[in-house]
Amino acid sequence: MNLQCRPELASLYKTGPQIARILTEEWVARELYCPACSSDQLSQSKTNAPVIDFTCPGCEQLFQLKGLRNWNPQKLVDAGYEAMIRAIRADRVPNLLVLQYSASWCVTNLMLIPRVFFSESIIEKRKPLALHARRAGWVGCNILLGQIASDGKIAMVSDGAALPSQRVRSEFSRVRKLAEVPPSVRGWTLDVLSAVRKLGKSSFSLDDIYKFESELRESHPLNRHVRPKIRQQLQVLRDLGLVEFTTPGSYRIKEYVSPRG
Ligand SMILES: [Zn+2]
């Protein structure tokens, strides 16, 4: 994979953020493969929408691209809050590609967030725009990257080096079964997975996870039975192959295992 964008294209377009958009868009169309199937390319969607979208010609998965010069690993500024919440509830958020480029227009990091990782808990409402703004009262949102379990942040390029496509595809395939969990419950599943990951250990007990009880209650104020919900979601994660049960009340997280060859 050639990580260099084509800065010479910049002169063909307007200045400012337009350039970053054109160069990152061209790079994805030229270099990127589909992480969800064996297709070695993604096609740019033919829309004039303000967002940059790609579709896989093989499996029809949708990808949205965000290119940034600097990124904050905790937070990513996104578009409208209400539209995002509606998309999550309707289960139609695209996969997200977060691309970081260097001053010399080289791709330094590219992170894939599979669509199934978008839940209401990771969307932060921003303050409405001030009265004198052109879109006064409009409310945007932030994607809280820090709240997403590591399983949902798949590196495709890391520190200026591309990861093997086989590894990326295998990591994507490991979590795509989360799509089988209905979106109304998936937020819980993801929050419990995120809590498991925050423990930072491979084996854990139910008591370890119960420490997140108040945090989970805050994210899900309508649910008063947090502990039974935690146990139920651990079973869901087990059925999806992401967590293993060892002895009663003890669990083990199933790590990504590099495929042979
Ligand atoms: Zn595909």
**What pLDDT does residue 133 have?**
84
Nearest to 39 by CA among 61, 56, 64, 62: 56
31 Cα–ligand 1 center, Å: 14
Q: What pLDDT is stored for residue 19 in this prediction?
A: 82
Measured in Å, residue 202 CA sits from the centre of ligand 1 at 31
Helices (H), the chain: 17-31, 81-89, 165-175, 183-199, 206-210, 213-219, 226-239
State the distance from the centre of ligand 1 to the C-alpha of 253, rounded, in angstroms.
Answer: 28
Locate CATH 1.10.10.10 in the chain. Answer: 183-253
Distance 6 CA to ligand 1 centre (A): 25
CATH of 183-253, one of 1.10.10.10, 1.10.3720.10, 3.40.50.1100, 3.90.45.10: 1.10.10.10
Q: For the chain, which ranges sit under pLDDT 50?
A: 261
What does the pLDDT read at residue 48? 63
Q: Which CATH number is 7-180's, of 1.10.1200.10, 3.40.210.30, 1.20.120.350, 1.10.940.10?
A: 3.40.210.30
Q: Tell me the C-alpha distance between 196 and 116, whole Å.
A: 17
- Gap from CA of 24 to ligand 1 centroid (Å): 20
**Cα–Cα dist 15/7, whole Å:** 12
- Enumerate the CATH 3.40.210.30 domain ranges in the chain, comma separated: 7-180
CA of 57 to the centre of ligand 1 (A): 7
- Helix and strand totals (H; E) in the chain: 7, 13
